Amino acid sequence: MNMDRVFIEDLRIQTVIGIFDWEREITQTISLDLQMAFNIARAAESDDIVDTLDYKAVSKRLIQFVEASEFQLVESLAEHCANIVLEEFPVTWLQLKLSKPGAVRGSSAVGVIIERGQA
């Protein structure tokens, strides 16, 4: 079985995220990387946008949600983002990496990678 994947890489979004008091008063950049299972055969044959997964629509929806959110944990934000994609778009499986750049001195980023699929 082939599993085609549509991806979004390094989608940078400003949001309130963190557990410390100072983090609750500023916005920070998070970065999303997504790989989404979607059979591209129909789109490849038709060469028509209506037959594919619109990664711009996915990106815009996630930007809207993340900018308005105020989670404390990256784990919570990642889970909610994954649920949005699975519930609102024709995706059967996804891998989502949520990075918080500069959160730990000496590292370029920290975060989580989750995989979720339709039940």
Which positions are catalytic?
Answer: 100
Strand order in the sheet with 109-117: 5-15, 28-37, 93-101, 109-117
Residue 77's H or E segment, with its range, is: helix 74-88
Amino acid letter, residue 111: G
Are 103 and 110 contacting, i.e. CB atoms less than 8 angstroms apart?
yes
Residue carrying structure tokens 């990387």: 33
Q: Is 42 helix (H, G, I), strand (E, B) or coil?
A: helix
